[in-house]
Amino acid sequence: MTDAGATERIGIAVASGMLKGVYGHGVLSAFEERGLRADVYGTASSSVLSGGLAAVGRARRTGVDYWLKATAAAAEKGMSAVVLDSIEEYGPVLREGLFAAAAPEFLLATGKVTNAAAAEITQGSGAKALGRDLLRNVFAGDRSWVAENLATVVFPSRAEPGGGEPRLTPENYDAVSYASTRMLHAWSVPAEIDGEAYVDASYTCSCPAREVAAKGVDVLIAIGSDPFPLFRDLYASEEIVDGSVIGGARVLVVKPADDLKNLGVDYASATADGLVKAYEIGLEAGHRFADAHGELLVGASTTTAANNGVQEAGA
């Protein structure tokens, strides 16, 4: 460990990945066990819950149980109901912890619909068909509809009131967190924030690395859910590269060595055994990272103490 680490600001950006996000939850749980907490957490879509739990010191306590419960309920209730139920269950502790004075800054990415015609489609009966088209466009490399109709909007918990920047608050947390997850092909309940249409963050920002870096961090840890290159969005518009520099922050990428699909965990379906194994692989990866970057544990010491207080308050 070095003295330099004690003054480094740490940011963690957690990529979306639907059910594959269980891996990132495992990584965050290991970080929590080792005392590696960030000054800034950035989340999008399926990482909103795990990233929020990590920010308030409850990732390990929740563990894989959330993913097992959500997966079991998805076939019966549908993904909209599963996400809304999880917000109802975990919302109280997150609303209390994320906005406490000692909490780290928390960023929640969304995709805002920028015009009335697109809003009519995304909020109406054509949403699922559009969602399927957008997924096909991923393989074709066609980002045109997204570029014309969506914009990344990130809600930070520390935005200054009246500063013109969207702000995440206890009052809008539920709506913003649901909006961030709403994949059009599978979510039946439309998403709105202050009367405006939103969709899943992943279309424009599945890993808010740049937004975390912009908060003045020195080290940016980006957590992916696939062994493939980690990109900013579904359409691979920008790769987030291990060892690179983004906005002045040194980038360190943590991702699985193999496709979690081989364990039985795909984006929209997973076996119980697969989820447990994927979570455990994430735990192991998080501990290896902490072993390799022990200097960051010193840098996390102040935030760790603050988060311990947040955890006690939310227990």
Nearest to 186, CA basis, from 75, 111, 91? 75
Select the more confidently predicted residue: 244 or 306.
Answer: 244
**Going by DSSP bridges, is the β-strand pair 245-246/230-231 parallel, antiparallel, or unpaired?**
unpaired
State pLDDT tens for residues 120-146.
999 999 999 999 999 999 999 999 999
Confidence of residue 75 (pLDDT cuts 50, 70, 90): confident
Question: What mean pLDDT is reported for the chain?
Answer: 92
Phi, psi of 115, rounded to the nearest 5 degrees: -150, 160
State pLDDT tens for residues 207-247.
999 999 999 999 999 999 999 999 999 999 999 999 999 99
Percent of the chain residues past pLDDT 90, beyond the cut = 88
Tokens of 234: 């579904």
> How many Cβ atoms from other residues are within 10 Å of residue 145's Cβ?
15
Partnered with residue 199 across adjacent β-strands are 111
Confidence of residue 299 (pLDDT cuts 50, 70, 90): very low
Alpha helices in the chain, H assignment, sequence order: 21-34, 47-55, 59-62, 65-77, 79-98, 116-123, 127-140, 144-149, 173-181, 209-213, 272-292, 295-299, 301-314
Tokens of 215: 């908060």
State pLDDT tens for residues 181-211.
999 999 999 999 999 999 999 999 999 999 9
7: which residues sit within 8 A by CB, 6+ positions away? 299
Q: Within 13 Å and on the Cβ side, how many CA atoms surround 35?
A: 14
**According to the model, what pLDDT value does residue 298 have?**
56
**According to the model, what pLDDT value does residue 183 have?**
97
**According to the model, what pLDDT value does residue 300 have?**
44
- Reply yes or no on whether the pLDDT at 4 is more than 90: no
**According to the model, what pLDDT value does residue 159 have?**
74
> How many Cβ atoms from other residues are within 10 Å of residue 88's Cβ?
10
Q: How far apart are CA 233 and CA 215, in angstroms?
A: 20
**According to the model, what pLDDT value does residue 7 have?**
76
Tokens of 303: 């935030």
* DSSP code at position 154: E
Q: Which helix (H) or strand (E) covers residue 108, if one does?
A: strand 105-113
**According to the model, what pLDDT value does residue 161 have?**
67
Confidence of residue 309 (pLDDT cuts 50, 70, 90): very low
Q: How far apart are CA 173 and CA 55, in angstroms?
A: 15
* Alpha-carbon dihedral angle through residues 162, 167, 171, 172, given to the nearest 10 degrees: 130
pTM of full prediction above 0.85: yes
CA quadruple 107, 109, 115, 116: dihedral sign: negative
**According to the model, what pLDDT value does residue 224 have?**
98
Confidence of residue 164 (pLDDT cuts 50, 70, 90): confident
Q: How far apart are CA 16 and CA 152, in angstroms?
A: 14
Nearest to 176, CA basis, from 160, 199, 159, 158? 199
Q: What is the mean pLDDT of residues 266-282?
A: 97
**According to the model, what pLDDT value does residue 92 have?**
96
Alpha helices in 183-271, H assignment, sequence order: 209-213
Select the more confidently predicted residue: 274 or 302.
Answer: 274
Taking CA atoms, 76 is separated from 82, 86, 292, in Å, by 9, 15, 43
- Reply yes or no on whether the pLDDT at 158 is more than 70: yes
Residue with tokens 């466009």: 137
State pLDDT tens for residues 255-264.
999 999 999 9
Q: How far apart are CA 165 and CA 211, in angstroms?
A: 13
Q: How far apart are CA 4 and CA 171, in angstroms?
A: 39
> Is residue 123 within 8 Å of 190, Cβ to Cβ?
yes
Q: What is the mean pLDDT of residues 83-105?
A: 96
